[in-house]
Amino acid sequence: MRSAALRPENYLAYNEFLNGVETTYTELKAKRATDRTEAIQNGFLADPDKKVTLDQAITPVGTCTDMCPEFERLERMKQSMVDGAEKVGDGQVSYNPWERDVPAEERMVKRFRRSAAGYDEQLPSDIRTPATLKMTLDYLFDEVVGKAESFAAVQKFVWDRTRSIRNDFSIQQVTEEKDVALAVECFERIARFHIISLHQLSNPEALAGQEYFDAHQEREQLNNTLLSLMYYYDDHRDRIPFKNEAEFRAYCIIFEIQSQHPDLEDRMQSWPKPLLGDKRVQTAFKLYSAAGNTLYDQGPLKPPTPFSIARGNTGGFWRLLSSSAVSYLMACVGEIYFGQVRYIALQNIWKNAKSSPSTRQGTDEWTIAELTKALAFDEDDETIEFVEGFDLSFKSNAQGVEYLDFTCQPSAVLDSAYMFINRKRD
C-alpha cells in the first residue's frame, strides 16, 4: 500500500498527489519488465517465446495480499479510472482544495479485465492469494453493499469486482483443500449475490437516475458461477465435505427450466444419493417438472424431442412456489421463468377454450380476476398488460365484468414479476 507521504490527505494540493502517482507508476512499470524476466527464469510464468506441451504448462500462483495490486492502483489513478466506491469525499481528507472526491487506495479493488492481445500475462504480484480473495469479498459485501445508500447504486461495481475474484481463483486452479474450501465459499456467496440482483433489480422501481441493469448479463454470470461450483463439488467430493451443495444443486435444477437440453433427469443419476434425497433438491425438481415446456419439442439435435418429464402444471408450480418448502432464494431463481410459466398457462387456457364447442368460446368465465389468479400476478393491471401483449383483448358481460375474448388471435409474450417473490422475505 502507498506510504503515508503519497496519500492525498498529506499533500498540499491534489495535483501534487497525482504527480507522485505518475512518478511511482513510471518507476514500477520499468521494474515490471525485470520482475517478469525473473518470474519466467524461476518457473513462475510461462515463457511466451517457447512452445510447451499441456503437461508442461505453468499454473500461476498469486502473491498479492492487497484487494487491488499496487500496479493497477497506480495505473487506474493515473488514467482516472477509479470508481466512486473507491474514493473518499471532501469531508474525509484533511486538505482538499478542489472539494472533490479523491482516490483512496485502501478502498480500491481489482477490476475484471479480459485476457486479450496486447496485454501481458499477469505477474504473480497481480494475482491475489485465496485468503486475500476471501477478505476482498468480505469487504465488498460488508462495507460496500452493507453501507451503500441503495443496492442498485453499487451493484454494478460489486458485479465487476466479484467477477475479478472468480477470475483470480480460476487462473490459479487451486487444489489445496483450504484453498478449494475458500473458493467454494466465495463462489457460493457470489452466486447468491447474482440471484438477489436478478430479483431486486428486475423491478424498475429499484433503479434510479442513470442506473441500468442488464438481466441477461446477470443470468450469464450466475450460470458461470454455478457451473464453476459444480466443477468444484464434483472434483473434490472425496476430500472435502460441502455443506451447502444441496442448496446450490437446487438452484441449478430450477435454473435449467428453460434449458434446450432436457436431459437433467439423466444427469442427476450420477449425483450422490444423499443429494438426490435432499428435500431442497426434490422440491426444485418438482418445480422444474411442473414448469417444463409441453407446448413444443426441445433439444439441440434435429429433430427436436418432447420434454419427457414436463408437466406444464402451472397451478402446481405456483402452489409449490408459495409453500414453505421453497426458500426465498429458490423463489428468486424461479422468478426468472415466470414469463414462460405464464405463457404456458395462458396457452393452456386458450387451447382448452378453442377446443370447446363454438358456443363455449364466447364464455365469460375467464374474467380478469380469474386470470390474475391463474397467472399469479399481484394486480389486475399486470394481468391486462401481460394478456394484451399477445394482442388479446377483453369484452364486458351484462354485469360490466371484463373477460377474455377468445375470438382474438395471440402473438407475443411479456414477462413481469416482483411482489410475488418479495412475500418470501416476510
Mapping DSSP to helix (H, G, I), strand (E, B) and coil, where does residue 374 land?
helix
Residue 307 has pLDDT above 80, yes or no: no
Distance CA 225, CA 230 (A): 9
| HEC string for 23-41 | HHHHHHHHHHHHHHHHHHH
Distance CA 329, CA 193 (A): 10
Contact assessment for residue 318 and residue 326, using Cβ atoms and an 8 Å cutoff: no
pLDDT by residue (tens digit) across 48-82? 767 777 766 778 889 999 999 999 999 999 998 99
> How far, rounded to the nearest angstrom, does the alpha carbon of residue 33 sit from its chain's CA centroid?
37
What mean pLDDT value characterizes the chain?
Answer: 83
Q: Return phi, psi of residue 88, to 5°.
A: -120, 150
Residue 295 has pLDDT above 80, yes or no: no
Identify the residue with better confidence: 408 or 403.
403
Identify the residue with better confidence: 298 or 364.
364
Distance CA 86, CA 423 (A): 35
User: 232 CB contacts (<8 Å, ≥6 apart)?
Assistant: 180, 183, 184, 187, 242
Residue 92 has pLDDT above 80, yes or no: no
Predicted confidence at residue 244, as pLDDT, reads 97
Q: Are strands 102-103 and 394-396 parallel, antiparallel or unpaired?
A: unpaired
| HEC string for 141-210 | HHHHHCCCCCHHHHHHHHHHHHHHHHHHHHHHCCCCHHHHHHHHHHHHHHHHHHHHHHHHCCCHHHCCCC
Distance CA 356, CA 45 (A): 72
pLDDT band at residue 139 under the 50/70/90 scheme? very high
Average pLDDT over residues 175-181: 95
Cis peptide bond prior to 303, omega within 30° of 0: yes
C-alpha cell read off for 101: 472526491
> How far, rounded to the nearest angstrom, does the alpha carbon of residue 365 sit from its chain's CA centroid?
41
Identify the residue with better confidence: 71 or 422.
71
Contact assessment for residue 314 and residue 287, using Cβ atoms and an 8 Å cutoff: no
C-alpha cell read off for 219: 443470468
User: 350 CB contacts (<8 Å, ≥6 apart)?
Assistant: 406, 410
Predicted confidence at residue 95, as pLDDT, reads 43
Predicted confidence at residue 389, as pLDDT, reads 86
Amino acid in position 337: Y
Residue 326 has pLDDT above 70, yes or no: yes
Average pLDDT over residues 110-139: 87
Residue 141 has pLDDT above 80, yes or no: yes
Using CA atoms of 165, 195, 142, 87 in order, give the dihedral in degrees to the nearest 10: 70
Predicted confidence at residue 390, as pLDDT, reads 84
- Write down the residue that cell numbers 375467464 correspond to: 366
Contact assessment for residue 170 and residue 219, using Cβ atoms and an 8 Å cutoff: no
Predicted confidence at residue 354, as pLDDT, reads 75
pLDDT band at residue 3 under the 50/70/90 scheme? very low
Distance CA 225, CA 316 (A): 29
Rg of the chain over CA atoms, in angstroms? 27
pLDDT band at residue 130 under the 50/70/90 scheme? very high
* Positive or negative: CA dihedral 305, 309, 314, 318: negative
pLDDT by residue (tens digit) across 22-56? 888 888 888 888 888 887 877 777 777 677 777 66
Distance CA 22, CA 39 (A): 25
* Among 34-38, 230-234, 256-260, 374-378, the least confident range: 256-260
Residue 4 has pLDDT above 50, yes or no: no
Q: What are the helix (H) ranges across 201-307?
A: 215-236, 245-255, 264-268, 273-276, 279-291
Distance CA 294, CA 61 (A): 49
Predicted confidence at residue 187, as pLDDT, reads 98
Count of Cβ atoms closer than 10 Å to residue 424 Cβ: 18
Residue 207 has pLDDT above 80, yes or no: no
Predicted confidence at residue 209, as pLDDT, reads 67
